[in-house]
Amino acid sequence: MNRTLKKISAIGLSVTTAVWLSGAVMIMPALATTTDDLQAQITLLLAQIKTLQDQLKVQQPATSSYNFTRSLTVGSKGEDVSALQSILISAGYLKIDKPTAYFGSLTKAALAKYQAAKSISPAVGYFGPKTRAYVASVTVAPITTFPAGCTSAVGFSPTTGLSCAATTTFPAGCTSAVGFSPTTGLSCAATTTTPGAPVAPISGLSVSLAADNPAAGVLISSVSSAAARVPVLTLDFTAGTAGGMTITGIKFHKSGVLSDSSISSAYLVESGKVLTQYSSLSGGVVNFDGLSLNVDAGKTRKIIFAIDPSTGLSAGNTVAFTLSSVSDVTVSSGAVSGSFPLNGNVFTVTSVTRPDIAALEIVSSSVGNSVYAGTQNVLVSQWIATATNSPVNLTSVNFKVIGSATKTDIKNVVLKINGTQVGSTLTSVGSDGSAYFDLSAAPAKLNTGSSNIQVYADIMGSPSFNFALELLNSYDVYAVDTQYNVPVGVTITGGSGVTITINQGQITVTADTNTPTGNIAKGGSGTALAKFDIYAAGEALKVKFLTFKLTFTGSTTTISTMLKNVALVDDSGAQVGTTINTPPTPNSCDNNGLSVTAGYDATGAIYYDCFGTSASPINYIVPANTTRVLTLKADIQSGATFTTVTAALTGNSSNLQGQTSSGTASSGSASGAALTLALYPLTVDKNNAVGTMTYAKGATAAKIGSYVLTASSAEGINVSNFTVTMASSSANFQNLLAKVGDTQIGTTKATLGGSDAVTFSGNLSVPTGGTTIVNIYADILSSASTAIYTTLTTLTSCTGTGASTYSSVSCSPTIVEGQDLTVSSGSTLTVSLDSNSAPNKQVIMGATANSLATFRFVDTANLEPIKITDLVVYDLVSTGGGTTSTVKASFSGLTFYNGTAAIGTASLVDGVVADTYKASFHLATPVTIPQNGSVSLELKGDVASYSSNGATDNKIHIFKFDAVGNITALGVSSNQSVTPTLSSATGNQITVLRGKLTLTGATLGSTSGRVRTAVDDIGTLTFTAAAGGYDVTVNTVTLKLQGQAVSSGTAAFNVDLIDSNTGSDWSGLSAQSCNPATGNSCSVSFAFSTIPTITAGSSKTVKVRVDSSSFYDAASTAESLSTLVSAYDKVNWGDGTTTGGLYLQPTDVPIVVSSVSY
C-alpha cells in the first residue's frame, strides 16, 4: 500500500469514527485512478469532516425527551431503562460507559443521588410517578446557535462577513453536536441546519444552499429505463448591491459509489426550464463551461442542478454532489463568496418492477406546410405522445421556434392535449424562439397509450418566410411518473417538426356593420353613401386603385346634376385618392380585370368611376393586421331625381402589393345598402292622438291644437319658425302660446282677434327619422260662447334648415288643419252614498270616531278637475217620529276624511226644519276630484256620553246631503261653478243607545257522528255587553233548529238554556218544547220572568241543551242539525234607559249557535 492509499485509509477511519459518533451516514468517494484524483478526493474527505464538525447537517428533526409510561425499579428491563440510564450518565451520577437496559443496584444508587439533588422525596432510587413527573417537566426546548461571530439571525458576521440568517438547532440540552443530552439522555448529533434567505452582499457574488434544497431521495434505474432530470442540489446565486454579476462556469463534485458513467446527463434548471446541459463529467467533477448567466444587482437566481441516472445501475449505491469551494464558481469579474462546501443530500439507487418506471416517447406528426400571413388559430405543430408502464403528468414543454420568420409575428400560442387546451396562452414566442409551457400548477395527465399533442398559433406576419416548432432535446419535456412521483426519461423522434411557409398577406373587403341605411337628403353635403371594412392580413398592403359603382333606381339625369365632390376617406381621417369634384373622371377603370370607362353604363342606371388607376396609382397603405373603415361620400345636389342609390366597391385585379413580400394580390367586392332620396325632409300632420277637446269656459292654458313634425331619415331638421292661424271665433280666447313638452317656443300672444295668424320663432329640433310634437295652448274667456269651435287652429307654414346639410327646408304640406274644440258651461258632479258606507248599526253613548256615512263624488263631464270648497251635511232624526226638540244632537266633532287625512271638522246645529240638524264644513284645502275620476269622503263623529245628557237613547240618526246647495264645487282651471247631482246621497240608520248587546255562538263537542242522547249540549250562546256602555238586560231569546235530524214528523223534543257556571236552567227558565214541522225545522222562545243582567264590559255564556234521543235516524245517512238566531228581532233586550224593544244589529245575524250531525 503506497503512502497515498495509507493516507486515504487513515482519513477514512477518522471520518468513519466521526460519522459513527454523530449518527450520520458517510459516503465514500468513488475509486480514483491517478494520484491527482486521489489528492482531490482527500481534499473532499477533509471538507466532509469539517462539514460534519461545523454543521453536522442530517435530515432527522430535533428529538424530544423520552416519554416514560411506567414506574421502574430493580430488575426492570427495556428501552425506558436505557433512557433513564442515559439521563443519569449525562448528569454524572451513573459511572458506566453506556446504557445496559437493565435496572440494577448501580442504577438504583445513581437514581437516589439524582433524586436528592433534585429535591425529590423520598430519594430511595425508585423511579415512580414523582420522578417521572419531574423528568417530564424539565424543559426540552431546543438550543439554536448562530454562525461564527453572530449573536442573532440579523445582519452579517463581523468574523466571516457572511449572513447571520443561517441557524443550527441542537436537540434539547445540547450545545453542540457531540455527546448526549443531559436532559433527554439522547444523542446530540441530530442537528438541523436551516438555510437563511439569501442576503445580497455589498459586491461580488454570494453562493448559498437554497432553503428548498432537495432532501435525500432515490434514483430509479431499471434495466431499460431510468428517471430523468432528478434535482439533487439547489443553490442561490445572489449578486451584490453594487452591480450585477455574470456566471461563466460552475463545477459540481460527485461523491459516493456511483461512477461517472452512471450519470448519463446533467443540467442547470431554473423555474422548471433547462438553461443548459453539462459540458463534461470527468474524475467525479461535472463541468458547466461557457455560461453567461446574468444576476442583476441585489437579486438572486435559484439554480437547480439535476441529473439523468443511467439505466441498469445497482440498487443500494449512493451518490451526492457538492459545490466544494469558491473556485467551483467562475464569474466574468468580481469575487465569489459563500460558506463552502455546499453539500447536496444523499441519493440512493433503487430499481422498480410491476410496473417499471414509466417511459414517454414523442413522435412528430404532419401538419400543413403553408399558411397565409394573418391567419389565426393555425395548427403549427403536432406530436403523438406514447406513455408506457404508467400514466405520466406532463409538467412542462419547451418548443423552439426556428426559421426565417420574425418570432414576434407568431402570437397567441396554445397547447392542446387531445383537443383540450392545457396551460396558459402564450401571447407571443420569446425573443430567443422559445415557446415554453409551464403546466406545473395543473399538469396534463397522459394516460398509457397514445395522446395527441397540438400547438396552435396566430401567424400575424413575415410573409414569404418560414418557421418550424422543434422539440429536439429530451430534457425539453418534463414528465413525472404518476406511480413513483419521479421525472421520467423522454425519447423524441422527428424533433425538428414541420417547416411551414408563410404566404403573402391578403386584403378582405366587406360592408361595414354601420354602413348607412334609410334616407338621404337633397342638398346634403358630404353624405355617406356606404362604408366598407378593409382588413390587411399578415403584412402591410399598398392599395394602388379602387373602383366603385353607384346603382340608381328611378329617373336619372347627368351624374353631376345629382352628385358632386365624391370622396373616399378612412376612419383615421386619411383620404384615399383625390376627390372627384365634378363626375365623371376621364379614367379608364378596372372592374375585376375588365376595363370600364368612368360614367354611366349602357342602361344609364349604373355609374362607374375609380380612385387611381394602374397607370396612376393612389398608393394607399393599410397597416398589417389592421382594419380600415372606408366611407364613400358625396354632395347630393338639389336637382337629384333618383329614387334610390346603392354604392359598392366592384373588386379589382392586381391592385394590391405586399409591403414585405412585394407580392401582388386582388381585392374583393362589397356593397352598401340602398338609400332612398327623401322628397320631403320635413312633414307636418295633425296629432291624431288628440281628438276633439272639451273645456269649461274660463279654462286657462287649455290645449286647443296639437301637431306632429317628422324629419326624414336623411337628417334632422332645426325648425326656426312656424305660423298658426286662428279661426274667426278666436276673440273668445287669449294668451295663445306654443310648447314642445314643457318648453315654450317663441312668445305669448296675449290678445286675439278674428282669424289672427301668429308666428312662433325659436329653436325647435326634429331628430333624424324622428318626430316632435308641438302643442298650442290658450285661455278660454269666461264670457266665451258655449259652442263647438271647428278647426280652431291651422298650421299654415314652417321653415328651418337641415341639421347636417344646412339646406333650407319647409313643411309639407304647407297647410295642416288642427282639432275641433267644444266649450261648455262647466263640469258636472254626481254625489251618492259609497258602497263601503257604514251600514244600519248601533253606537253607544261615549263612543268616539264612529263611522257615520261615506259619500262618493264623481266628475261626470270629463272637462277638468273639480275642487270642493264647502259641504253642508244634515242629520235627520225624524225616523221614529223624533224632532230636534225631542231628540238631542247626540254627535260632536263631526269630521270628513279623505282616506286617512282629516279635511274638515264641524258641529251640529239646528237645521232649517224641525227634524234635522246640520253641520257646515269649510275646507281650507279644497278636495280635488280628478278629471273623469272620483273621491270618497268618510264622515266620522263622537257620541255624547250618557252623563253629559247630550244624547237621547234609542234614537235613529241619518246623515245626508239634503240639496244641491249643500255642496260648493268649482272647476279647477275655469273656476266655473259646478252644480252637483244628488243620487241617493243618504246614509244608513245610526241608532244611539246607552248600552249594546252582541251575541256569538259556538258548537260543543263533535260536529259529526254524534250519539243521540236525552242530555245533548250542542252549543253555547255568549251574551256580551259593550264596554264603555251601560249594563244590558235580556228579555227574550228565540232559537231556530233545522235539518234532517228534526224532519217533519219527528216527535217533539225539549230545548233548554243552561247556565254554564251552575249547570242549571239560566235565570229560572224552564225547558221549551220544539215541535218539528214542515220544512224540517222548529223554533223555541225563552221569555225571562227573572230578567238577567249583563254588566257592561262582561259576557255571559249559556249552553243550548236538547233531547236528541228521539231525533230522526235514517239507516245509511247522517242527519244534520243547525241551531241559530235567525233574525235581528229574535233577541229582545234593554239598556237601562230603554228596558225593552231593543234588538240586535241587522248585520249581526244570522248567528249560528251550532252545526252538527248524527
Site of grid cell 254554564? 1060
- The whole-number pLDDT of residue 57 equals 36
pLDDT at position 750 over 80: yes
The three cell numbers of residue 972 are 279647477
| Residue 151 pLDDT class (50, 70, 90 cuts) | low
Nearest C-alpha neighbor of 640 from the set 604, 676, 603: 676
Nearest C-alpha neighbor of 55 from the set 330, 278, 340, 256: 340
- The whole-number pLDDT of residue 662 equals 81
- 506-678: CATH topology: Immunoglobulin-like (2.60.40)
How many residues appear in the chain? 1158
> CA angle at residue 902 from 900 to 908, to 5 degrees?
130
Alpha-carbon distance 907 to 1107, whole Å? 57
Task: Return mean pLDDT, the chain.
Answer: 88
- The whole-number pLDDT of residue 185 equals 52
Locate the domains of the chain by residue range.
3-54, 66-137, 199-350, 359-503, 506-678, 682-823, 828-993, 997-1157
- 682-823: CATH topology: Immunoglobulin-like (2.60.40)
**Radius of gyration, CA atoms only, the chain:** 56
Alpha-carbon distance 992 to 849, whole Å? 14
pLDDT at position 176 over 70: no
CATH number of the 997-1157 domain: 2.60.40
Percent over 70 (pLDDT), the chain = 89
pLDDT at position 689 over 50: yes
- The whole-number pLDDT of residue 147 equals 58
- 8 Å CB contact between 846 and 946: yes
pLDDT at position 1083 over 70: yes
Strands 656-658 and 664-665: antiparallel
Quote the DSSP letter at residue 737.
Answer: E
H helices within 871-910, ranges in order? none
pLDDT at position 429 over 60: yes
| Residue 812 pLDDT class (50, 70, 90 cuts) | confident
Three-class secondary structure of residue 553 per DSSP: strand
* Least confident span in 388-397, 536-545, 732-741, 789-798: 536-545
What is the rounded average pLDDT of the residues 835-839?
96
Nearest C-alpha neighbor of 845 from the set 947, 746, 743, 770: 947
- The whole-number pLDDT of residue 504 equals 82
- The whole-number pLDDT of residue 201 equals 92
H helices within 1038-1102, ranges in order? none
**SS3 letters for 948-997?**
CCCCCCCEEEEEECCCHHHEEEEECCCCCEEEEEEECCECCCEEEECCCE
Answer whether CATH 2.60.40 is correct for domain 359-503: yes
- 8 Å CB contact between 26 and 257: no
Alpha-carbon distance 388 to 392, whole Å? 9
- The whole-number pLDDT of residue 414 equals 97
Cβ count near 117 (within 10 Å): 12
Strands 626-636 and 808-810: unpaired
The three cell numbers of residue 620 are 394607399
Residues 1142-1157: tens digit of each pLDDT: 999 999 999 999 999 9
Cis peptide before 122 (omega within 30 of 0): yes
- The whole-number pLDDT of residue 136 equals 76
What is the rounded average pLDDT of the residues 1066-1078?
93
CATH number of the 199-350 domain: 2.60.40
- The whole-number pLDDT of residue 942 equals 97
- The whole-number pLDDT of residue 195 equals 57
| Residue 182 pLDDT class (50, 70, 90 cuts) | low
CA 55 to chain CA mean position, Å:
57
> For the chain, first and last CA: distance in Å?
127
- The whole-number pLDDT of residue 945 equals 94
| Residue 372 pLDDT class (50, 70, 90 cuts) | confident
Which CATH architecture is the domain 828-993 placed in? Answer: Sandwich (2.60)
- 8 Å CB contact between 56 and 22: yes
Query: Across-strand partners of 361?
Result: 386, 491
Cis peptide before 584 (omega within 30 of 0): yes
pLDDT at position 145 over 80: no
* Least confident span in 98-107, 165-174, 763-772: 165-174
H helices within 910-959, ranges in order? none
Nearest C-alpha neighbor of 359 from the set 218, 492, 226, 223: 226
- The whole-number pLDDT of residue 1142 equals 95
pLDDT at position 154 over 80: no
| Residue 47 pLDDT class (50, 70, 90 cuts) | very low
Which of the four CATH numbers 3.40.50.9100, 1.10.10.10, 2.60.40.10, 1.10.101.10 does domain 66-137 have?
A: 1.10.101.10
Alpha-carbon distance 426 to 349, whole Å? 39
**pTM for this entry:** 0.47
| Residue 814 pLDDT class (50, 70, 90 cuts) | confident
- The whole-number pLDDT of residue 10 equals 36
Alpha-carbon distance 3 to 286, whole Å? 28
Q: Do domains 359-503 and 997-1157 have the same CATH topology?
A: yes
What is the rounded average pLDDT of the residues 497-514?
90
- 8 Å CB contact between 247 and 331: yes
